[in-house]
Structure 1
Amino acid sequence: MTVIGAGPAGLACAIVLARAGQRVIVHERRRRVGARFHGDFQGLESWSDDIDVLDELASAGIRPSFEHHAISHVTAFDGRDARHEIRAEKPLYYLVRRGSGTDTLDQALLEQAQASGVEVRLSSPLKSAPGLAVVATGPVLANIMAVGYLFETAMPDGQWACFSDRLAPDGYAYLLVQGGRGTVATCLFREFTRNDEFLARTIAFFTEHAGLDMRTARPFGGVGNYGPPCRGEHEGRLLVGEHAGFQDALAGFGMRYALRSGVLAARSLLEGSDYDSLWRRSLLPAIRQGIGNRLLYAKVGDRGRRAMFRRLAAGDARPMLAKLYRPSLLGRVLYPFARRHGRIPQHDPDCCDNACTCLRCLCGRHINSGAAASRQDPRPLEF
């Protein structure tokens, strides 16, 4: 079996296949697994499902051998700089590091894959493969951008986030500190060309409100995409992770979706089941709800967000956050409007249907209008 891309989705798929006795070869175009990242802290969310994310991975045979820290308390600031202490009885997410270094999520998955018998070929930019293949090559284009710094610090451990358009238009800024290392960044959903300005405001904000202390700071950045997934299978290839559009549109927490999609792709290959049916049942409801949540977040403004954080701070935040991702009547009503609101010009080379109107494709519109977007290089920017 061939897997193209050695991100979390591709490696999760490879691990499950190999442990079931399949011969698996993973092709990664970069020289190192995790090379898109630089040791920055990210959140492996655990609030959108009743099952803890580590238990979900364990049920698929994936061990949490990477560095991880359970986070049940986050200090959140609204657009008026009011402080809200968000707490939960169970972990909201697990703080992990991404990159090619020791104890990162990427390196741990690589080691588990190799220990299971997976052959990983680096600097191998395979674009096609005979027979069935799994494609896990990351985002097609970008409508999410994160820029920030990695640093060393004497600050105590803590998690801070600010939900203000002054720092991150339609997004949020965050400061994550653990064990003398930290990540500070702004996560933008629009106005990408002003990222330097928003990052400077983010640094100033957390310096004032959280005592940010950065030493040996190193800049980093990255992009991602969200939108209604079009298809999970195309011409014998199973699409997983962000390449398929599996992403949380509200906050950009996509790692859980990526890992789950890799496991689902492996299951479909081993069981002979329909992959599209599996991901549509397991992933699509929450993805659609997240797209509706994104529109709601953008429209309610600072007053609405402040009311939301007051509710979250009044009790156990995890059940309330989980409710945001459960299919609801409001979500179904908002979804078609949210899909149009979040649309950006994107061309999906895997889409063969000129009538497709999903956010990720829009092929018919590009082809008919001759828009310049249809001629863009579909590879994501890298930092």
Structure 2
Amino acid sequence: MTTQADIEIVGAGPAGLTCAIILAKAGRRVTVREWRRDVGHRFHDDFQGLENWTARQDVLAELAEAGITADFAHHGVRKGIVFDSRARPHPVQGKRPLFYLLRRGNADGTLDRALLDQARAAGAKVRFNDHVETAAGNMVLAGGPRRADIIAVGQVFDTDMADGAWLAVNDALAPKGYAYLLVHAGRGTVASCLFTGFHDQAKYLAATVEFFQRHAGLEIENPRPFGGFGNVRLARTAMQGGYPVVGEHAGFQDALAGFGLRYAIRSGTLAAHSLLGGTDYTRAWREQLLPGLRAGVVNRFMFNTTGARAKDYLIGRVGEGDTAPALARTYGLSLPKRLMFPLARLRYRAPLKDPSCNHLNCDCVWCQHGTHTITKT
């Protein structure tokens, strides 16, 4: 690639926009092509967490190092409550923020709008309603998830509740997943994050709302429904037709809990640096992302095969002392996890196949989301 070569990025999610910002700041001519009419089309001003425990470096410092300004609304969360399967509360806390609470969507203050503004300010062109049919020239593929392995169904709302973060691990609320409640500055998000049972999403959301009303004092005003989905996949090269693939388009997603934002930003950064320096993108992401991705697969396998009592015990242990180091160890690829990985890789996919939804005449989150290609596996 020459200095003057134009670069097209297909997709205006966090991975694609991060890549665009870095390339444009380096003087490249960049065009981002997004087939939707705006950024953040999969989100509805709902709260999400930008995790801050898988690396020693604070994630905001990591963003700054990549050239991304944290000018989106964010709030560091150091404390929370995790409910086990018997609804027993376990406080968790960190010496530094366990995660940063931020908003997703196209409104001012959201992560998506902030990254769009930064890309344009750096000189990148962004074209919406632009559906790419074929890849050509110099491209980065950042089209988002291609299938639904995880769905979140919930409500965003106004509230007089005090700020807080609550998590519940209970199959009656979210089979093979978890339910969460996030409240900050008079607004909140409550959701069930499902790894199976998509067709019964309404039942699980109703159970989740009732649970947090009873155990966390949930108060909801002006509820607005929302839904989202994620794709979990272990890529081989993260190259498609010779083009780098980033974010959830490559399947870069935490298989245990679905935390993909940090992976998206990191992969967009690695792709940009590979184009600027002529380095091997596959080698870069395999060195920097693959160990954590593999640890997530083992974590998911263990979660799927561990009984409720063992999960309750582990939840209690995580809440002892500073939670961040305990979570970091969970996402480390230790020797036992390396040995377990081949089995986990073979087995973890099966529970993610959702027999409750065949994506025909269905109103689950995935099927409601719009035009997409159904991949039979």
Aligned partner of 1:102 among 105, 108, 118: 108
Report what 2:40 is aligned to: 34
| Counterpart residue type for residue 289 of structure 1 | A
Report what 2:81 is aligned to: 75
1:147-173 deviation per Cα after TM superposition (whole angstroms, max 9, x unaligned): 000101111110001011111111100
Report what 2:22 is aligned to: 16
Aligned partner of 1:90 among 85, 89, 96: 96
CA distance in 1, matches of 2:262, 2:186: 26
- Cα offset for 1:332? 1.6
CA distance in 1, matches of 2:321, 2:167: 18
Q: Is the 8 A contact 1:132 1:236 kept in 2?
A: no
Aligned partner of 2:56 among 47, 50, 71: 50
Question: Aligned runs of 1:113-192 on 2, under 5 Å?
Answer: 113-192=119-198
What SS class does the counterpart of residue 276 from structure 2 fall into?
helix
Report what 1:322 is aligned to: 328
Calculate the TM-score normalised by the size of structure 2.
0.91
Aligned partner of 1:60 among 30, 50, 66: 66
Q: Is the 8 A contact 1:151 1:215 kept in 2?
A: yes
What SS class does the counterpart of residue 24 from structure 1 fall into?
strand
Report what 2:372 is aligned to: none
Q: Point out the more displaced range, 332-341 or 20-29.
A: 332-341
1:292-327 deviation per Cα after TM superposition (whole angstroms, max 9, x unaligned): 001111222221111112112111000110011111
Q: Is the 8 A contact 1:145 1:221 kept in 2?
A: yes
Q: Could you list the runs of 4 or more consecutive aligned residues of structure 1 that deviate by over 4 angstroms after TM superposition? A: none
Residues 221 and 272 of structure 1, relative CA distance in 2, 3 Å threshold? same
Report what 1:349 is aligned to: none
1:279 aligns with 2:285: yes
Q: Structure 1 unaligned runs (5+)?
A: 347-358, 360-371, 374-379
What SS class does the counterpart of residue 145 from structure 1 fall into?
strand
Q: Point out the more displaced range, 278-287 or 299-308.
A: 299-308
Report what 2:3 is aligned to: none
- Cα offset for 1:18? 0.3
What SS class does the counterpart of residue 29 from structure 1 fall into?
coil
| Counterpart residue type for residue 169 of structure 1 | P
What SS class does the counterpart of residue 161 from structure 1 fall into?
strand
- Cα offset for 1:336? 2.1
Q: Structure 2 unaligned runs (5+)?
A: 1-6, 360-365, 370-377
Report what 1:354 is aligned to: none
Aligned partner of 1:197 among 199, 203, 206: 203
| Counterpart residue type for residue 262 of structure 2 | R
Q: Is the 8 A contact 1:15 1:116 kept in 2?
A: yes
What SS class does the counterpart of residue 306 from structure 2 fall into?
helix
Residues 141 and 344 of structure 1, relative CA distance in 2, 3 Å threshold? farther
Calculate the TM-score normalised by the size of structure 1.
0.89
What SS class does the counterpart of residue 222 from structure 1 fall into?
strand
| Counterpart residue type for residue 349 of structure 2 | R
CA distance in 2, matches of 1:230, 1:217: 42
Report what 1:260 is aligned to: 266
1:339 aligns with 2:342: no
CA RMSD after TM alignment? 1.6
Residues 204 and 219 of structure 1, relative CA distance in 2, 3 Å threshold? same
| Counterpart residue type for residue 270 of structure 2 | L
What SS class does the counterpart of residue 201 from structure 1 fall into?
helix
Q: Is the 8 A contact 1:242 1:258 kept in 2?
A: yes
The number of residue pairs the alignment matches comes to: 353
CA distance in 2, matches of 1:296, 1:227: 17
Residues 382 and 275 of structure 1, relative CA distance in 2, 3 Å threshold? farther
CA distance in 1, matches of 2:152, 2:177: 10
CA distance in 1, matches of 2:70, 2:113: 12
CA distance in 1, matches of 2:34, 2:367: 17
CA distance in 1, matches of 2:305, 2:242: 40
| Counterpart residue type for residue 283 of structure 1 | L
Q: Is the 8 A contact 2:238 2:245 kept in 1?
A: yes
What SS class does the counterpart of residue 85 from structure 1 fall into?
strand
1:342-375 deviation per Cα after TM superposition (whole angstroms, max 9, x unaligned): 32599xxxxxxxxxxxx9xxxxxxxxxxxx99xx
Residues 59 and 382 of structure 1, relative CA distance in 2, 3 Å threshold? farther
CA distance in 1, matches of 2:78, 2:318: 13
CA distance in 2, matches of 1:301, 1:217: 34
1:235 aligns with 2:241: yes
Q: Is the 8 A contact 2:233 2:250 kept in 1?
A: no
Report what 2:373 is aligned to: none
